Amino acid sequence: MDFNISTLLPVMPEIFLLTATCVILVIDLFLSQQSRMFTYGLALGTLLATIAVVAFVGNGESQVLLHGAYIRDPMGDLLKVALLTVAFFSFVYSRRYLEQRDIFKGEFYVLAMLALLGMMVMISAGGFLSLYLGLELLALSLYALVAFDRKSEKGSEAAMKYFVLGAIASGMLLYGISMIYGGTGMLDFAGVAKAVASGQTDKMVLLFGLVFVVIGIAFKFGAVPFHMWAPDVYDGAPVAVVAFLGSVPKIAAFAMAIRILVEGLGGLGLGWQGWEGMLIILAVLSLAVGNIVAIAQTNIKRMLAYSTIAHVGFIFLGILAGEGAGHTAAMFYTITYALTAVGGFGLLTILSRKGVEAENLHDLKGLNEKDPWLAGMMLLFMFSMAGVPPLVGFFAKLFILDALVKAGMTWLAIVAVAFSVIGAFYYLRVVKVIYFDKPISQVPVTSAVDARLAISVNGLAMLYYGLFPASLLSLCSLAIGG
């Protein structure tokens, strides 16, 4: 096969992002602390430019290159755009927070962009190897980001925990991959799918490998019972990092689940005997533990961590509901959840002042009195997470329920709505402290213009996609159907 540079065109977004990241790293070396804003601007510009490149190389077809290691398809394109958009918001929210803590350094953005690169590789992975590569790039960057505030003991502790548990999970995933490789002799998803479908392979080995792979996926999502890292990491990491870590990687995890479970091991779904049964258990446990334990939290970062776990349950239900409607619903859910989560954490980032992390429920007391606009935005985020119309979170849940009923799993739909009612309580409590309680300190809320603008766009997006969900839904539907 002769090499032609134009065959690399579909990989342009990744190549561009990597190049830009390296350039920013070098430029940042020569900047004084006063001109750090330049790095920030470059980083934001890079994200926007990468979105443009994704849009430029994207088309309705799917392309497989690099011997099956890389896939460019409409689903990947849409997920990448979502990924970069959500990351853009988190970058904007973090600026002032980092400045106030004297950690406004170029490395933050470089690390985050490397993590983004890893996630884009995961999204476009055509085989286990490239997926694992992307996953590790993501994980290593995140470990460093969690410990980004070097003076913070809690941050270091959280990074250590995350690292140890993450390494174990990666090991499990790799072990599972090796079993599947041993069973099928293939590493690319298409090849694995063909080998599984042929029935020539030893099912026992495959199922054995599958269990470990599912554990790896569940860990990345933070699904119960592999969720224990999430509350500690969210709690320990600087809230600006949590805004990134708690939102963007969910999109990549969704891609990973679809690529491995559906495109690779779709033949091993098999109801209760295959990964479908495992996902049902993971989903129901996540919904139950996430929603119930969240009620007991007074630290809002921990609370949102458990809430994430509960939302992951919903995403799993969407994947379970099957091709077409189910996957579309899960994708819609993932994207809108990431957008909601980045807003929720972003608001906490904005409210944090020098020396004070806004991380406990009582830090939000009386926000409506101090800053009604920000309070209104938080109201939108919380009701969206609770799934109350006309906010987008409602439609995300509705599409999942709808797909479940259509797939004949009405009982799962009823379990899911029952837990959403329980879940509504703790979101309401956040609204309650914001609106009904008196502020405990009189320090006024100050926010930078860029962050304020971003949070407004982010919050109003909840309302916009709640009133007009059809646009995003049809995009997801096209991406999945393509």
Partner 1 sequence: MSADWPILSAVIWLPILGGLLVLFSGDKAPAISRWLALTVAVLTFLLSIPLWTGFDAGTAAMQFQENHPWIESFKVNYHLGVDGISMPLILLTTFVTILVVIAGWEVIQYKPNQYMAAFLIMEGVMVGVFAALDAMLFYVFWEAMLIPMFIIIGIWGGPNRVYATIKFFLYTFLGSVLMLVALVYLYYQSGSMAILDFHGVKLGMTEQILIFLAFLAAFAVKVPMWPVHTWLPDAHVEAPTGGSVILAAIMLKIGGYGFLRFSLPITPDASHSLDWLIITMSLVAVVYIGFVALVQQDMKKLIAYSSIAHMGFVTLGFFIVFIIFSRPEVHSGAVLGVQGGMVQMVSHGFISAAMFLCVGVLYDRMHSRQIADYGGVVNTMPWFAAFMVFFAMANAGLPGTSGFVGEFMVILASFRADFWFAFLAATTLIIGAAYTLWMVKRVVFGDIANDKVAALQDINGREALVLGSLVIAVLALGIWPGPLIEVMDASITNLVKHIAVSKL
> Of 440, 155, 475, which is closest to residue 334 (Cα–Cα)?
475
Phi, psi of 371 (to 5 degrees): -150, 85
Distance (Å, whole) CA 306 – CA 127: 31
Distance (Å, whole) CA 42 – CA 204: 51
Chain residues 85-114 in contact with partner 1, contact rule CB under 8 A: none
Looking at the Cβ atoms of 31 and 424, the one nearer to partner 1 is 424
DSSP state of 199: T
Q: Judged by CB under 8 A, which of 23, 27, 428, 440 binds partner 1?
A: 428
Cis peptide upstream of residue 225 (ω within 30 degrees of 0):
yes
Write the interaction track for partner 1 spanning residues 303-342; mark x where CB under 8 A is met and - where it is not: ----------------------------------------
> Of 16, 11, 21, which is closest to residue 107 (Cα–Cα)?
21
Question: Can you list the alpha helix ranges (DSSP code H) found in 58-127?
Answer: 74-100, 106-123
413 near partner 1, judged by CB under 8 A: yes
For residues 39 and 28, the answer to whether their CB atoms sit within 8 Å is yes
CB of 344 to partner 1, least distance (A): 17
R_g of the chain computed on alpha carbons: 21
Distance (Å, whole) CA 381 – CA 297: 18
Chain residues 275-294 in contact with partner 1, contact rule CB under 8 A: none
Question: Which range touches partner 1 (CB under 8 A), out of 74-82, 122-130, 307-315, 427-435?
Answer: 427-435
Q: Which two tokens stand for residue 326?
A: 């189910």
Q: Judged by CB under 8 A, which of 182, 191, 277, 390 binds partner 1?
A: 390
Kindly give the pairing relationship between strand 70-72 and strand 63-65. Answer: antiparallel
405 near partner 1, judged by CB under 8 A: yes
Question: Which range touches partner 1 (CB under 8 A), out of 11-19, 241-249, 295-303, 411-419?
Answer: 411-419
Looking at the Cβ atoms of 122 and 385, the one nearer to partner 1 is 385
436 near partner 1, judged by CB under 8 A: yes
CB of 413 to partner 1, least distance (A): 6
Scan for tokens 């350039």, then name that residue.
23
Q: How many CB atoms lie within 10 A of CB 460?
A: 13
Chain residues 335-374 in contact with partner 1, contact rule CB under 8 A: 368, 372
Looking at the Cβ atoms of 418 and 443, the one nearer to partner 1 is 418
Looking at the Cβ atoms of 178 and 474, the one nearer to partner 1 is 474
432 near partner 1, judged by CB under 8 A: yes
469 near partner 1, judged by CB under 8 A: yes
407 near partner 1, judged by CB under 8 A: no
CB of 480 to partner 1, least distance (A): 12
User: Degrees (nearest 5) of the Cα angle 74, 76, 80?
Assistant: 120
For residues 256 and 139, the answer to whether their CB atoms sit within 8 Å is no
Write the interaction track for partner 1 spanning residues 170-199; mark x where CB under 8 A is met and - where it is not: ------------------------------
CB of 14 to partner 1, least distance (A): 32
273 near partner 1, judged by CB under 8 A: no
CB of 383 to partner 1, least distance (A): 6
Residues in binding contact with partner 1, number by CB under 8 A: 35
Helical pair 248-257 and 128-146, crossing angle rounded to 10 deg: 160
Distance (Å, whole) CA 458 – CA 452: 10
One-letter amino acid of 188: D
Chain residues 16-55 in contact with partner 1, contact rule CB under 8 A: none
Q: What SS3 class is residue 46?
A: helix
Q: What SS3 class is residue 70?
A: strand
Distance (Å, whole) CA 310 – CA 308: 5
User: 238 in the Ramachandran plot: left (φ > 0), alpha (ψ -120 to 50) or beta?
Assistant: beta
Q: Judged by CB under 8 A, which of 253, 477, 479, 480 binds partner 1?
A: 477
Q: What SS3 class is residue 299?
A: strand
Write the interaction track for partner 1 spanning residues 65-84; mark x where CB under 8 A is met and - where it is not: --------------------
401 near partner 1, judged by CB under 8 A: yes
Write the interaction track for partner 1 spanning residues 370-389; mark x where CB under 8 A is met and - where it is not: --x------x---x----xx
Q: Which residues bind partner 1 (CB under 8 A)?
A: 368, 372, 379, 383, 388-390, 394-395, 398-399, 401-402, 405-406, 410, 413-414, 417-418, 420-421, 424-425, 428-429, 431-432, 435-436, 469-470, 473-474, 477
